């Protein structure tokens, strides 16, 4: 069914470029509330797109991003003309985010979602010491490292790639587990896990080696235990132009020379 005349909600990051784009587009197409809109158009960079996806998880709203930021891997090119036609022809990708549950040194617990990744990192000059368990089986009795990343395919080209983790095709039913500066076992380079698994990470010697945990942009300090699994009852929906689809972007990244 064509939605050429469907209702759009424009959301913009606070940067001058995004605010200028917001004024230009709302003058041309109008602006509906997020509740009334058929599609939400996010104007900004990748960080703003992640923020918008988090705000709209399980709302049924489709998110179409246009790059008005510095990176824009998750975004489509910014163009004013024929926007509704572009949205009509866009490819939809649905994602189940990761769910991070933590037990913390101050006696509290935390719950957060991640579209890109969950990662742990050392809080002090001391490297972290972690025990890694996958589906009830201890896989690493002791991992000493600066950090550990558990990435979705959508996030595999972000922090995971900077840490020399593998790029995952968007439709791959996998998670990438990638260490950051592993000291012991020194030769361990990470693992590819089915996305249905449950991962538990215990922080060893937490008083001597405190560790923080992050789910996208939510940080929890001084965690003792972290549980990560895919939240299958939550869904985020994102649209990409067919000539520059998200799947194609991830595939192209695997052949990139690193300078483009």
Does 116 show up as a binding residue in the annotation? yes
Q: State which CATH number among 3.30.70.3270, 3.40.50.970, 3.40.50.10330, 3.30.360.10 fits the domain covering 8-95+235-253.
A: 3.40.50.10330
Question: Could you tell me how far CA 240 lies from the centroid of its own chain?
Answer: 16
What DSSP state is assigned to residue 13?
Answer: -
- The reported pLDDT for the residue numbered 145 is 97
- The reported pLDDT for the residue numbered 192 is 97
- The reported pLDDT for the residue numbered 2 is 46
Does 135 show up as a binding residue in the annotation? no
Does 39 show up as a binding residue in the annotation? no
pTM: 0.85
Catalytic residue among 23, 38, 46, 77: 46
**How do the domains of the chain map onto residue ranges?**
8-95+235-253, 98-230
- The reported pLDDT for the residue numbered 42 is 97
- The reported pLDDT for the residue numbered 258 is 55
CATH topology agreement for domains 8-95+235-253 and 98-230? no
138-154: burial string, b at 16+ Cβ within 10 Å, e else: eebeebbbebbbbbbbb
- The reported pLDDT for the residue numbered 97 is 95
Cβ neighbours for 84, distance < 8 A, ≥ 6 positions apart: 3, 4, 5, 6, 8, 29
Q: State which CATH number among 1.10.10.10, 3.40.50.720, 2.60.200.30, 1.10.260.40 fits the domain covering 98-230.
A: 2.60.200.30
- The reported pLDDT for the residue numbered 73 is 78
Question: How many whole angstroms separate alpha carbon 164 and alpha carbon 183?
Answer: 15
> How do the pLDDT tens digits run along the chain, 260 residues long?
344 567 999 999 999 999 999 999 999 999 999 999 999 999 999 889 999 999 999 999 999 999 997 767 788 999 999 999 999 999 898 889 999 999 999 999 999 999 999 999 999 999 999 999 999 999 999 999 999 999 999 899 889 999 999 989 878 899 999 999 999 998 899 999 999 999 999 999 999 999 999 999 899 999 999 999 999 999 999 998 987 666 676 777 777 665 45
Asked if 46 is an active-site residue, the reply is yes
Query: Cα-flanking dihedrals φ and ψ of residue 161, to 5°?
Result: -65, -40
Does 231 show up as a binding residue in the annotation? no
180: tokens are 């950051």
């Amino acid at each position: 069914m064509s939605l050429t005349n469907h209702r759009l909600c424009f959301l913009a990051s606070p940067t001058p470029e995004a605010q200028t784009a917001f004024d230009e587009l709302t003058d041309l197409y109008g602006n509906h509330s997020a509740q009334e809109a058929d599609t939400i158009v996010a104007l900004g960079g990748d960080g703003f797109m992640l923020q918008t996806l988090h705000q709209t998880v399980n709302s049924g709203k489709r998110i179409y991003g246009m790059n008005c930021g510095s990176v824009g891997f998750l975004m489509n090119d910014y163009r004013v003309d024929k926007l509704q036609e572009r949205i009509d022809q866009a490819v939809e990708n649905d994602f189940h985010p990761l769910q991070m549950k933590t037990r913390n040194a101050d006696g509290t617990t935390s719950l957060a979602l991640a579209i890109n990744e969950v990662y742990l990192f050392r809080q002090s000059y001391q490297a972290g010491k972690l025990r890694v368990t996958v589906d009830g089986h201890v896989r690493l009795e002791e991992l000493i490292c600066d950090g550990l990343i558990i990435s979705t395919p959508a996030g595999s080209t972000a922090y995971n790639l900077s840490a020399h983790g593998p790029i995952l095709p968007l439709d791959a039913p996998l998670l990438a587990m990638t260490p950051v500066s592993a000291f012991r076992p020194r030769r361990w380079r990470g693992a590819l896990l089915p996305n249905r698994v449950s991962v538990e990470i215990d922080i060893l010697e937490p008083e001597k080696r405190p560790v923080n945990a992050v789910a996208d942009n939510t940080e929890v300090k001084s965690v003792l235990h972290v549980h990560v699994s895919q939240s299958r009852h939550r869904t985020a929906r994102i649209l990409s132009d067919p000539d520059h689809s998200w799947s194609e972007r991830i595939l192209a990244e695997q052949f990139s020379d690193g300078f483009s």
